[in-house]
Amino acid sequence: MDFKKDVLDFKGRVLVDFYAEWCGPCQALKPILEEASLELPEGAKIVSVDVDEYSDLASEYEVSSIPCLVVFENGLEKDRMVGLVSKKKILKMLLK
C-alpha cells in the first residue's frame, strides 16, 4: 500500500479504515465496509490500513482507538469516526 498515492494524492474522497487483525470490532466492520464499497459515490474509495503493519501512519494521524474511520478529501482529513458503525453512517460520511 502506498498511502501517499492511494490517499493523499487521490483526487476525491477516501475512507481510510485503520484496523488490526486481532480487533473484534474491526473484523465485524469488514463485511460492512465491503457492502458500502458497492454503493460508493463516484470519485470515492475505501482503503484499509493495518495499524500493526503501519504503526507510523497510525501515530501520524493520532489513531488511538480502532476501528477508526478517517475521511480524506484531496489529501486533507475531513471527518473521523471511531468504533463499529453502520453502512448508512459510512456512506453518509463519504457524501458529506
**Annotated catalytic, 68?**
no
Q: Where are the domains of the chain?
A: 3-95
On whether the CB atoms of residues 69 and 90 are closer than 8 A, the answer is yes
Per-residue model confidence as pLDDT tens for the chain (96 residues):
899 999 999 999 999 999 999 999 999 999 999 999 999 988 899 999 999 999 999 999 999 999 999 999 999 999 999 999 999 999 998 887
What is the DSSP pairing of strand 68-73 with strand 13-19? Answer: antiparallel
| Catalytic choice (7, 26, 51, 71) | 26
pTM: 0.94
CATH entry, 3-95, from 3.40.50.300, 3.40.30.10, 3.20.20.210, 1.10.3720.10: 3.40.30.10
C-alpha span between 57 and 45 (Å, rounded): 18
DSSP code of 39? Answer: T
Catalytic choice (6, 12, 20, 23): 23
Let me know if 26 is a catalytic residue.
Answer: yes
